[in-house]
Amino acid sequence: MSMNNKTLIAQIIGTALLGSCWLPAMAQVAPNTATADDKIPERIEVTGSRIKRTDMEGVAPVTVISAIDIEMSGFSNVEEILQASIGNAGRTVEGNESSWTQGASTINLRGMGENRTLVLVNGKRIPQYPTATGGSTNFVDTSTFPSSAVERIEILTGGASAIYGSDAIGGVVNIILKKQYEGSVLEARHENPQHGGRDKSKLSFTSGISSTLGETVLVLEYTDEEMLRAGQRDITAGFGPDGVGTFSSTSGYIRDRNKAYHKDEYVMATEQQCADLFGEFGSWNPAESRYKCRYNSFAEEGMQTAKEEYNLVLNHQAELANDWTLSGLLQASDKTTNRGNAQKSISPTIYMDRNNPGKYSYNINDFASRREFRVYRRLDDYGQTRDYTGEQQSLTSSIGLQGAVGDYQLEFGWAYGKSTFTRQGRNQMLADKLLEVISLNPADSANPDKWYPMDKMTQAQQDKLYAETLTDAGSGLNQLSAVLTGDLFDMPAGTVQFANSVEWAREWYFDLKDINTTSGNLLGQGGTQGRGERKRYAAATEFAVPLLGADSSIGALEMSAAVRYDYYDDRSDVGGAATPQLGFKYQPTDDVLVRLNVGRSFRAPDLHRMYAGVSRSFSETTIKVDPAHPVGVDDSFESISAGNIALTEEKGKFANMGVVTQFTDDLSGSIDVWRVSLEGAVYSQSSTRILENPIYNMTGKANNCNELSGIGYLLQQPDGQTYKDVFCVRSGTINSAYESSQGIDAELTYKMDLGDYGSLKLTPKLSYTAKKEYQAFAESPRVEETKDDYLPTWKSEVALRWNLQDLSVNLSWYYLGTGEGEHDWTLKDAAGKEYQQKVWSKLSPFERVNLNSSYRIDQHNKLTVGINNLTDSMPPLFDKGHPSRNEHPYFLENSGYNIVGRTFYASYQYSF
């Protein structure tokens, strides 16, 4: 990208970063002005409560990931550390989920859905990502915050709607940015995978500025991440682990159903045509009975999205008169992403007027007497890869004013943010222009005004047919809040504390596509678009009530109670939602804490689920809905979806009980038992789930796709075809689903002083998901995802840190446990006849070990070298015989498995 094409944000940050490289030569080392720890303990606000306390432990478990933890983990960004955390379970958006959300990442606490985890920055909401994952689900992108600016990340697992309102069902992630910084640091980092592809580079500048106006932290960060394509890894480049997979049958051929112009119904590419049309991506296999020319669609498929990003953070704190403070945050980012895709393929059915040969239409009813053709073709003629380019700009800002009003603390807050996303999808074909150019008569092969699909397009034909699918999307949030906190009155056991808050917010989004995409004029390409907004009003109160004092004979007991009411001013049926929460914290001794927290939570429907327009697209499936459907032949169908403004809120419940113990001065630990459930969940069934369930088969109940008003699919059997294929799938959104998750979390921290040999810190963490259930609607069976859908039950992390003066060595082990599932397998009986039967199987665990070492050379210089994924682990494969074992990409995507492999990296810091 040239500088002239960069946005203003990118130019400013890039220029500033370049300038910062000269600062060390002109600067002096800033003195360390850290003070001793003999001050009166400061009250701080911990995620999960607005009441400020002197300790981190409350009625709800909160995991804290510090800036040092992030650095020592080996990961280079916020999204990687969040996805590796033990609370993150199930499916997540991992930067390459789809071209609609390319470059975006999420966290999915308790496996309840990425849209049911609330993400905050400095305790305040931020805008959601402009486009929806899966065409329906709104979420917050965790990849736009530079790790250099992070002070710590607090992760609360479990519901917190009584404190924060909607979305806090699986939990809350609060990214807290640095408020103070001594001196300045310039850091450069580069990562290089052993197997090539996915190089990453990062340059950051962090500086603390003190003046009469207050304390300001400035962070500038530039990142550049290379794309990883399927062809660059052995696991995704070939024919699967058993070598029995095949390339796509959609290469280049014509089906002339009536043999109007050809002696055979199937007109297949010859070996020469296969080579001429598709070059290195064409694969010729003379042993095939029909599909001898196949297309290698794997090589160019993107597995990791390329990204170039500029980030700016300004975080300011100022002391005003009369003990009032002013805080302000400005965070801006500019991100360009490129996602790799397999070459575009088309497979339209085209009808020709029998009485007027050469006149074509896509509508079977346009001609009284007709001939029918179907054209299958990859569009390599365009001469370029089908990479989709995305441009995302994000702005997050907030202003806070806090001070004393009598004996109480009053805080006013304003937060504003917006995000825009544009996307350019290459190598499309205009449907209307194709009817003007195409000829299914091989005699027109020499006609420059006509394109016979078994020939390569001329430049003029390319120019007429070429198109791109375009996305223009944006989202925003404007919020005002006021919080009053303080001591209410004294009781024998202590002081009752309270926090009252009120909020007003307006959020909006738009997700628009170009006219050719929305009208269906791009062959094989659809898109969901919509536009909507809503306002929200909320009031909440929270109390901390000491029931027993520390001098009690049985220990201290404190009760926490909170309730919140949210009113939604929009077109949905949500109206208002009240969410209570009750917790107890019991300390029989100074070294033991027992906590209990129960309550209700809720989530308002996604804006896109309400306001999405009717969307039609085309998809393919390998599911054999009709057992007679031939193996290796793609089944294409029309996919239809739309929004629903009659949705209501999702209603959740949660409970957590745990024990925190300080065994010795050097050993502490905690264990928590938890459960989260959700009723009336808003859920859109995927096409895969719909096609796998015969209850959705509406064949015979509707004549065409336009008559389908609810979830379902239709089958069709064209004339002369011996099997049925999928005609269309209608996916919809309703308040019918039930989800629940329950399990146990545990954590230990052990510190050891080795004297002259330094110090050691060991921190093992684990999470066990005992049960994760999903039910689409009352009549459908409950799916136990830990037994039926390969959701791992165990997730663990062990961090071992050793420090000796200026040297540190850090070892991190990340474990994603066994996944179990049940699936329909195709088996053979004694006579060799195929039949289907449900078979239970396992996915092996996935482990990664990160090792790094840092050495502070002197007060200016620090060098870090490391190896991520030391053992070069690759994702687990399905058992032999599993129907997905030899289906590309041969592993479960967006499920915590990483195919980058062993990666070497080095980082250099210069402090001044």
Q: Determine the pLDDT at residue 4.
A: 47
Q: How far is CA 719 from CA 43, 250, 258, 350, 722, in A?
A: 76, 21, 10, 15, 9
Residue 725 is assigned to a structural domain of this protein: no
Q: In the prediction, which pLDDT does 25 show?
A: 43
User: Cα separation of 641 and 645, whole Å?
Assistant: 14
Q: What whole-number distance in Å separates Cα of residue 892 and Cα of residue 843?
A: 10
CA torsion, ordered 371, 376, 381, 383, to nearest 10 deg? 150
Q: Does 634 fall in a domain?
A: no
Q: Which of 909, 906, 907, 905 is nearest to 861 (CA)?
A: 909
Is the pLDDT at 543 greater than 50, yes or no?
yes
Express each pLDDT in 800-816 by its tens digit.
999 999 999 999 999 99
Closest CA to 677 of 113, 187, 255, 240: 113
Question: Does the pLDDT of residue 1 top 50, yes or no?
Answer: no
Lowest mean pLDDT among 489-498, 612-621, 804-813: 612-621
Contact 424, 224 (CB under 8 A): no
Q: Estimate the share of the chain in helix, then strand, then coil, as percent rounded to the nearest 5.
A: 15, 50, 35
For the stretch 128-150, pLDDT in tens is 999 988 777 889 999 989 999 99
Residue 277, pLDDT > 90, answer yes
User: Which secondary structure element, helix H or strand E, spans residue 610, and what is its range?
Assistant: helix 607-611
Task: Write out the H or E segment, with its range, that includes residue 788.
Answer: helix 785-788
Two tokens at 753?
């002083």
Note the pLDDT of residue 56: 67
CB 110 within 8 Å of CB 676: yes
Residue 540 lies in a domain: yes
Q: Encode burial over 663-700: b for 16+ CB neighbours within 10 A, e otherwise.
A: eeeeebebbbbbbbbbebbbbbbebebbbebeebebee
Q: Supply 759's token pair.
A: 């110090």
Higher pLDDT, 316 or 735: 316
pLDDT (tens digit per residue) in 553-602: 999 999 999 999 999 998 888 889 999 999 999 999 999 999 999 999 99
Contacts of 101 (CB under 8 A, 6+ apart): 93, 129, 131, 132, 133
- Residues 400-415 have a mean pLDDT of 96
Question: Is pLDDT of 335 > 50?
Answer: yes
pLDDT band at 657 (very low <50, low <70, confident <90, very high): very high
Split at pLDDT 50, 70, 90, the class of 43 is low
CB 115 within 8 A of CB 186: no
Average pLDDT on 276-281 reads: 96
Instruction: Determine the Cα–Cα distance for residues 703 and 894; give it in Å rounded to an integer.
Output: 37
DSSP string, 797-858: EEEEEEEETTEEEEEEEEEE--EEEEEEEEEE-TTS-EEEEEEEEEE--EEEEEEEEEEE-S
Side-chain-side CA neighbours of 38 within 13 Å: the count stands at: 1
Picking from 352, 438, 97, 380, the residue whose alpha carbon sits closest to that of residue 250 is 380
pTM of the prediction? 0.88
Lowest-confidence pick of 66-70, 253-257, 485-489, 647-651: 647-651
pLDDT in tens, 858-883: 999 999 999 999 999 999 999 999 99
The DSSP secondary structure of 858-906, one letter per residue, reads SSSEEEEEEEESTT------PPTT-TTTTSTT-S-TTSS---S--EEEE
Provide the residue count of the chain. 912
SS3 assignment, position 527 = coil
Output the average pLDDT for the chain: 91
Residue 257 in any domain: the answer is no
Sign of CA dihedral 516, 518, 523, 524: positive
CA distance 286 to 269: 12
Looking at the structure of the chain, the number of domains it has is 1
Tens digit of each residue's pLDDT (9 = 90 or more) over 200-229: 999 999 999 999 999 999 999 999 999 999
DSSP 438: B
Say if residue 115 is exposed, middle or buried (CB neighbours under 10 Å; 0-12, 13-18, 19+): buried
CATH at 663: 2.40.170.20
User: Distances from the Cα of 487 to the Cαs of 52, 115, 163, 664, 871, in angstroms?
Assistant: 10, 36, 18, 33, 54
pLDDT reading at 24 higher than 90? no
pLDDT band at 3 (very low <50, low <70, confident <90, very high): very low
Q: How much of the chain, in percent, has pLDDT values that exceed 70?
A: 94
Residue 33 counted as domain residue: no
Query: Is residue 83 domain-resident?
Result: yes
Examine the pLDDT at 32 and tell me if it is beyond 90.
no
Contact 366, 349 (CB under 8 A): no
Report the alpha-carbon distance of residue 203 to residue 391 in Å, rounded.
Answer: 20
Give the number of other CB atoms < 10 A from CB of residue 661. Answer: 16
* pLDDT tops 70 at residue 41: no
Residue 205, C-beta contacts closer than 8 angstroms, at least 6 positions apart? 16, 17, 20, 23, 184, 185, 186, 187, 218, 219, 220, 221
User: Residue 239 and residue 224: Cα distance in Å, rounded?
Assistant: 31
Domain that holds residue 866: 3-27+47-232+304-342+388-427+469-605+647-685+731-911
pLDDT band at residue 637 using 50, 70 and 90 as cut-offs: confident
Residue for token digits 């911990």? 46
Beta strands in 663-779 (DSSP E): 667-684, 712-716, 725-730, 733-753, 759-775
Closest CA to 61 of 801, 678, 593: 593
Strand order across the 124-125 sheet = 62-66, 150-157, 171-177, 117-121, 124-125
* Per-residue pLDDT band at 349 (split at 50, 70, 90): very high
Specify if 669 maps to a domain.
yes
Q: What is the mean pLDDT of residues 320-333?
A: 94
Whole-number Cα distances in Å, 8 to 4, 143, 396, 418, 567: 10, 20, 16, 16, 38
pLDDT of amino acid 532: 93
Three-class SS state of 203: strand
Q: What is the pLDDT of residue 7?
A: 63
pLDDT the model gives residue 706: 67
pLDDT higher than 90, residue 33:
no
Integer-rounded Cα radius of gyration of the chain = 30
The answer to whether the CB of 571 falls within 8 A of the CB of 640 is: no
**Distance from C-alpha of 9 to C-alpha of 45, rounded to nearest angstrom:** 33
How far is 630 from 834, CA to CA, in rounded Å?
13
Q: Is residue 525 part of a domain?
A: yes
* CA distance linking residue 828 with residue 233, whole number of Å: 33
Residue 31 has pLDDT above 60, yes or no: no
Per-residue pLDDT of 354-372, as tens digits, reads: 999 999 999 988 999 999 9
- For residues 372 and 353, is the Cβ–Cβ distance under 8 A? no
In whole angstroms, give the CA distance from residue 215 to residue 328: 11
- Structure confidence by residue, pLDDT tens digits, 662-675: 999 999 999 999 99
Instruction: Kindly state the DSSP code that residue 50 receives in the 8-state scheme.
Output: S
Q: Are 862 and 183 in contact (CB under 8 A)?
A: no
